[in-house]
Chain A
């Protein structure tokens, strides 16, 4: 006399799968891990998801658009005269520096957004699906390549507009932008790892700031290293960001693929090799 099973008249089976489910066949079909090809498909699917989100929340692009425009112009006119004597002399020093700084800012957003995303209900489903643990981490990072691309192209274009004439020509510029994108993408694995470790998006933001500021300002990004006191110069010289900046300068200003470029690429590879596995491990544990 309680709730009777209300005879539902809604759209029920029209397209019912024909055969019955056979558990032993299903068990026989299972695999103990995702193949490399399957993993790649999963990463792309997660990248597709991230792109959809970007399109629906364009305010995410704020940092990518504002920073290159504002900082390039501002730094050029404020510091140009003091550091290099004139704005046009400063631009070859500044543009690669801004490129590195912008890439790092985008990296930071990667970590914060991942943390925010991981707190959502849908991550429970990702964890319950038979997918490689790297897919939910690597997918958004592939989508982020677009952000690195936009940010670096915009920086170079702003530079060109205010009088920057890169000695490396078109090829040098393409190389410099490419190296920036590679470096940003590689360093983003550090922030992804932080994202999987931290308790909240705010804490990722806080920790990332603490890492980012010394890395960018205690580097040769905005000033030549030899103008600094000795102890600071020592730090600046080992700072990986300095190497990326020098490499980008070589590419943009001289069109030269120097040893610095080689070191920067090797450094990026090492960062990925160390932090990608760390991030995947910490993500798998957090269940």
Chain B
């Protein structure tokens, strides 16, 4: 299900960042939760309860009409709530607990409904900075947050829509 429309906020705009904060903070709907066992969500709730880390999500080649790349979305978690989402510069992004990088093509795939977990497996989304073992202790929480981000409507380019062609993995 493509989540790109011409009226949606542009990818890496402040409006989009706030919509992402709201979506990841709210978590999945009851309908989405029902697709997986309750124990999976309980695991995520437990990880999330004391979560204080921050994530910087990077698009190294955001098109020029959107401000150009690299672009960085910073998401700050405090005791399990996403308290801040901002488009920041490289220095602030580098200070995040985890820096995740995806090519612009991979961002398009994520917004086009690609499986967020599979994107991590194929390193289409790549942990560029941060402790790998600690990151994976919260991995399903991150995956579900990326999936929620992917569902937030965003304008990706001047055409305002995706081709619908899912890129082959790797």
Is B one of A's binding partners? no
Residues on B close to A: CB < 8 A?
none
